[in-house]
Amino acid sequence: MTKTPRGVRVRRAACRALFVVGGVITLVCVLLPIACWRDDVAIERSMGQAVAQVDSVSFNRTVVRYATPDGRVIIPSQGVLYPDGLKVGDNVRVEYDQTNPELTRVAGRTAVLSLLPVGTFLVSVWIVIAAVVTVLRRFGTRV
């Protein structure tokens, strides 16, 4: 029995590592819309509505400020869910979980909005992985 060349073993390990990374990314991409749906269900169970003012918009979160009917001013620390298109100073209708006002989303927006960006990202990742694996396998046959 002959030992496979080191280069072949390295390429096989690289392919396996890429598939593992792709699997982990796929898992995260499947769990993300599920988490969004879970948040939507929590909001819909005990829904409150308000008009919020957009205080700041950054890459990772959009901060809003709104008042509940009992007079409390809420500024969700993690920002608002589904903030696409909001600008500082905008007034926007929001829906929130009355038992946990930190959980707030822009009114009328749901987890369905997460499917397109997550799906596009996932397809892109697998296209890149497939291209790299193809190159590694073709390179391995020429040795």
82: left (phi over 0), alpha (psi -120 to 50) or beta: left
Q: Return the sign of the alpha-carbon dihedral for residues 101, 104, 107, 108.
A: negative
Rg, the chain, Cα only: 23
Q: What percent of the chain has pLDDT over 90?
A: 80
Average pLDDT of the segment spanning 64-76: 94
Q: What pTM value is reported for the model? A: 0.78
Contact 9, 136 (CB under 8 A): no
Q: Tens digit of pLDDT for each residue in 107-131?
A: 999 999 999 999 999 999 999 999 9
The SS3 call for residue 9 is helix
pLDDT of residue 143: 44
pLDDT of residue 8: 81
* Residue 62, strand partner residues: 57
